[in-house]
Amino acid sequence: MDENKANDEHPFLVAELPTPVIRRLRSEQGESDRIRLAVRSDLAPDGQFGEQWLLIDEQTLWVIENSGSQALLRYRYALDDITHSKVERCVGNALMQVTVDERPQVLLHYTNDLMDQFGRVAHYLCQRAEDGPEMPVPDPNVNNNRCLVCGRHLLDSTTTICPKCVQGSKVARRLVDLARPYWGTMVLIIGLLVVGTALDLMPPYLTRVLIDDVLQPGGQAQLLVWVVLGLLGVRVVRVADTVVTNWLTTNVSARFTAGIRAKLFAHLRTLPIDYFDKNQVGRVMTRINTDTNELQGLVTQITRFALNIMLVIGIGAVLFAMSPSLGLYVLIPTPFVIAAALLYYRYMRPHFKRVWISRWRLNAMLSTFLSGVRVVRAFAQDEREESRYTERNDRLLDNTLQVDLAWAKFFPLVSFAFAAGGLIIWYAGGKAVLAERITLGTLMAFIGYLGMFYGPLSNLTQISQAMNRFLTISQRIFEMLDEKPQARPEVPVVTRGLDGEIVFDRVSFGYDPYYPVIKNLSFTIKPGEMVGVVGHSGAGKTTLINLLCRFYDVTSGSIRIDGVDIRDLPMEEVRREIGVVLQRPYLSRGTIAENIAYGRPDATREQIIAAAMAANAHDFITMMPEGYDTIVGEGGAGLSGGECQRVSIARAVLNNPKVLILDEATSSVDTKTERKIQSALDELVKGRTTIAIAHRLSTLYNADRIVVLNHGRLEEQGSPVQLMDRKGAFYNLVQMQSQFASLEGVVASV
């Protein structure tokens, strides 16, 4: 038998197929050796957990149900008959559908765990239907959403290694690298900690001297003042040591985390836009703010652990050295202390968490109420809101009381455990003193050391938790630092002086590669031409812009400006030549002048004013108390939507780009403002290649050409007049809107 090629590609498949399925396949004229793709669903056709297999060979697709003892053929289709395929989310499961003879046919359901695998199969079937049987068969079971180390499903989509597999040593090494500038200080801190530990060990020892050698009948009374002075000296040095240690620790941890924050932000700048789509703003903020803060807390905590370890070992050694037998007694309460500390986590933490959650709920409700107070009043719902608030407030009160109650029960119990440990020593030590095996001073020193022993010991029970947390957070931070920056071309190919001809050449693209948003799109925009892009929402208009600005790169095909693939142009070049006016303008914090000169900080005042005039913004700016010096953006003066928009248009004017993109620039303003913006835009588009996306088709009246998109495909294109004559998709859109417009007219005339 000749070696099967497909088998070589996916050698694991056949081994994985259950025997009943293989047998069923044979009886249906299939050969397991020829199977090129196999995916297992975890649901049976009746909607219970079960097993179904979707198998594909060169020509055929099978769905076979395996009930354990036997397998049943559910579906069989020739691949050539399948014209389309897709997956569809249900609730708690999803389904896969194929289209055969224009009839949709659901093949099977599967749980959400398998979304990726079946998504890949559906994508492959679609591609095969479009590009023919030469399409390479993908391996749908390759899962990039799994931990690189153990292969478990990754739960946090922002990481590539699961927390369990975080390699402590590797992370630690990188942390050490990052901490290199602080080495000197850290060595100093460790030295101070050792000194501190030694100092802590001294007072009980001096107490022993005091009792045994000084305060005895016939003792050396002249030593009394020296011993007391010694005790005072130890305390003073200890205070100084603590102050310096704390200061240094805070200093190092704060600088260390500030350094990491700076690194993270610097790295953010280089990341491709899709990183920001995949990671919600909140999550990135958490990474940069909360995680680094926690890291700082943990660094401090770890210093405390280090001190405690030294103390526990030091005290333990001293205790055993002073009296080995009493030292053993000290160990008796140790398990209780550790148990109490662990119990604390188990018992108290849920209580604290409950309080935290009910406080969050109360605050959330309050903030919703405050931001929506007009609506509440308008619907006369004050009373109901009040009772809702009261209800949540009562809940918080309940939970707070419960914590206090739990604490009131827990704390005395733990104190008792500690005190009981002391009592054992009093008894055993007392007997030893009476039998004159040890001196009274030794016993007193022992009691003194004991008081210092259990605190650090119980603190050390949290060490593994803290270390885990520390490594996980560090890992997350490194993950973000390791995120690949957007690819940049090595050599700039083209210099300045673009004409502005844009060619979309068989462009396909999907944010998720399995769900293309732009499909095989081709059209050309001539230099200086104004093209309006229209279509229903979801047609791919904004995606087109994202591709042109290179926020994303095309999946296949190319976009060329003046004959050069934009992927071969330096990013800065592309962005400099393209001016964008977005639906929701972004103004950074600063003066209006700074915002207008955002792309060209070296612009003169004349240029700024001229740009503002061209954008119809000069008048309202000069009327403001601080004119062009008005602070806008985060926390600044509240400009209206139309005003912001005109500032952003002035910014685009000043940038003087060859290509101008208007993405729904006038969609969120009233008609009067829209006219103002429109006249500003009319000025701006002169002599530039312009792509305008608009919902209100009236704003495209002066477009040279209209491109109509429908579900990522080019539906029709031509001049507005041509398209109106053709009575196609554009005509229909216009009809729909003019009905609206006449409605608006009626409303306005009332």
Partner 1 sequence: MQADYGTLQLNYLDPNAVHFCRQGETIAMTSDDGQSYPRVVLRNCFPMDRDSRYLSVRDATSEDYDEIGIIQDYRDLPEADREAVATEIALFYFVPRISRVRSLKNEFGFLYWEVDSDKGPLEFVMRDNVIHYVRPVGPDHYMLIDVNRARYEIMDLSALDKRDQKLVRRYLSL
Report the alpha-carbon distance of residue 699 to residue 689 in Å, rounded: 16
Least distance between partner 1 and beta carbon 271 (Å): 24
Binds partner 1 (CB under 8 A): choice among 112, 415, 719, 735: 112
Residue closer to partner 1, measured from CB, 163 or 316:
163
User: Per CB under 8 A, does 132 bind partner 1?
Assistant: no
- Enumerate residues 313-352 that contact partner 1 by CB under 8 A: 350
| Cα-based angle 734, 735, 741 (whole degrees, multiple of 5) | 85
**Could you tell me if residue 631 is left (phi over 0), alpha (psi between -120 and 50 degrees) or otherwise beta?**
beta
Instruction: With beta carbons less than 8 A apart as the criterion, state whether 198 and 312 touch.
Output: no
What is the rounded (10 degree) CA torsion for 141, 145, 150, 155? -130
User: Per CB under 8 A, does 100 bind partner 1?
Assistant: no
Binding mask 612-651 for partner 1 (x = CB under 8 A): ----------------------------------------
Least distance between partner 1 and beta carbon 407 (Å): 17
User: Per CB under 8 A, does 69 bind partner 1?
Assistant: no
Binds partner 1 (CB under 8 A): choice among 142, 148, 149, 155: 155
User: Per CB under 8 A, does 97 bind partner 1?
Assistant: yes
Binds partner 1 (CB under 8 A): choice among 14, 75, 467, 610: 75
Least distance between partner 1 and beta carbon 164 (Å): 7
Residue closer to partner 1, measured from CB, 283 or 686:
283
Report the alpha-carbon distance of residue 119 to residue 85 in Å, rounded: 9
Residue closer to partner 1, measured from CB, 283 or 437:
283
The closest of 675, 704, 405 to 533, measured between CA atoms, is: 704
Residue closer to partner 1, measured from CB, 84 or 600:
84
The label of the residue with tokens 């957007």 reads 486
Binds partner 1 (CB under 8 A): choice among 35, 55, 107, 659: 107
Least distance between partner 1 and beta carbon 35 (Å): 22
Residue closer to partner 1, measured from CB, 472 or 690:
472
Least distance between partner 1 and beta carbon 47 (Å): 5
- Enumerate residues 456-475 that contact partner 1 by CB under 8 A: 468, 472
Report the alpha-carbon distance of residue 551 to residue 647 in Å, rounded: 23
The CA–CA distances, whole Å, from 405 to 352, 398, 400, 402, 419 equal 12, 10, 9, 5, 22
Residue closer to partner 1, measured from CB, 364 or 419:
364
Report the alpha-carbon distance of residue 223 to residue 193 in Å, rounded: 30
User: Per CB under 8 A, does 184 bind partner 1?
Assistant: no
User: Per CB under 8 A, does 410 bind partner 1?
Assistant: no
User: Per CB under 8 A, does 95 bind partner 1?
Assistant: yes
What separation, in Å, do the N-terminal and C-terminal C-alpha atoms of the chain show?
86
Q: What's the number of CA atoms in the CB half-sphere (13 Å) around residue 246?
A: 6
User: Per CB under 8 A, does 93 bind partner 1?
Assistant: yes
Tokens of 598: 């955002």
User: Per CB under 8 A, does 229 bind partner 1?
Assistant: no
**DSSP β-bridge partners for residue 706:** 532, 718
Tokens of 714: 């080019």
Least distance between partner 1 and beta carbon 92 (Å): 4
Instruction: With beta carbons less than 8 A apart as the criterion, state whether 292 and 264 touch.
Output: yes
> How many residues at the interface with partner 1, by CB under 8 A?
38
Query: CB atoms < 10 A from the CB of 605, how many?
Result: 10
Binds partner 1 (CB under 8 A): choice among 5, 29, 68, 91: 91
Binding mask 690-729 for partner 1 (x = CB under 8 A): ---------------------x------------------
User: Per CB under 8 A, does 151 bind partner 1?
Assistant: no
Q: What's the number of CA atoms in the CB half-sphere (13 Å) around residue 570?
A: 10
Would the CA dihedral through 237, 238, 242, 243 be positive or negative? Answer: negative
Tell me the window of 110-118, 190-198, 451-459, 701-709 that interacts with partner 1 (CB under 8 A).
Answer: 110-118
Report the alpha-carbon distance of residue 337 to residue 450 in Å, rounded: 12
The closest of 365, 371, 402 to 387, measured between CA atoms, is: 365
User: Per CB under 8 A, does 452 bind partner 1?
Assistant: no
Report the alpha-carbon distance of residue 540 to residue 553 in Å, rounded: 14
Least distance between partner 1 and beta carbon 143 (Å): 13
Residue closer to partner 1, measured from CB, 361 or 560:
361
Least distance between partner 1 and beta carbon 346 (Å): 8
Least distance between partner 1 and beta carbon 364 (Å): 8
| Cα-based angle 196, 201, 202 (whole degrees, multiple of 5) | 100
The label of the residue with tokens 């001190």 reads 307
Least distance between partner 1 and beta carbon 78 (Å): 17
Residue closer to partner 1, measured from CB, 112 or 368:
112
Instruction: With beta carbons less than 8 A apart as the criterion, state whether 443 and 433 touch.
Output: yes
3-state secondary structure of 223: helix
Residue closer to partner 1, measured from CB, 105 or 555:
105
- Enumerate residues 350-389 that contact partner 1 by CB under 8 A: 350, 353-354, 357, 360-361
Tokens of 729: 């998709």
Binds partner 1 (CB under 8 A): choice among 108, 122, 414, 534: 108
Residue closer to partner 1, measured from CB, 45 or 259:
45
* Those residues with Cβ within 8 angstroms of residue 586's Cβ, 6 or more apart along the chain or in another chain: 648
Tokens of 685: 């588009």
Binds partner 1 (CB under 8 A): choice among 74, 304, 575, 713: 74
- Enumerate residues 527-556 that contact partner 1 by CB under 8 A: none
Helix H or strand E segment including 717: strand 713-718
Question: Strands across the sheet with 60-66, in order?
Answer: 37-43, 49-56, 60-66, 71-78
Binds partner 1 (CB under 8 A): choice among 15, 29, 68, 92: 92
Least distance between partner 1 and beta carbon 90 (Å): 5
Least distance between partner 1 and beta carbon 536 (Å): 9
User: Per CB under 8 A, does 144 bind partner 1?
Assistant: no
User: Per CB under 8 A, does 111 bind partner 1?
Assistant: yes
Least distance between partner 1 and beta carbon 357 (Å): 5
- Give the distance between the most distant pair of CA atoms in the chain: 123
Least distance between partner 1 and beta carbon 293 (Å): 16
Binds partner 1 (CB under 8 A): choice among 138, 163, 316, 422: 163
Residue closer to partner 1, measured from CB, 349 or 431:
349
- Enumerate residues 25-44 that contact partner 1 by CB under 8 A: 43
Least distance between partner 1 and beta carbon 119 (Å): 13
Tell the burial category of 286 from Cβ atoms under 10 Å away from its Cβ (0-12, 13-18, 19+).
middle
3-state secondary structure of 704: coil
Instruction: With beta carbons less than 8 A apart as the criterion, state whether 62 and 75 touch.
Output: yes
Query: CB atoms < 10 A from the CB of 592, how many?
Result: 28
Binds partner 1 (CB under 8 A): choice among 109, 261, 287, 550: 109
Instruction: With beta carbons less than 8 A apart as the criterion, state whether 198 and 230 touch.
Output: no
Q: In one letter, which amino acid is 418?
A: F
Report the alpha-carbon distance of residue 68 to residue 52 in Å, rounded: 10
Enumerate binding residues for partner 1 (CB under 8 A): 43, 45, 47-49, 74-75, 88, 90-93, 95, 97, 103-109, 111-113, 115, 153, 155, 163-164, 350, 353-354, 357, 360-361, 468, 472, 711
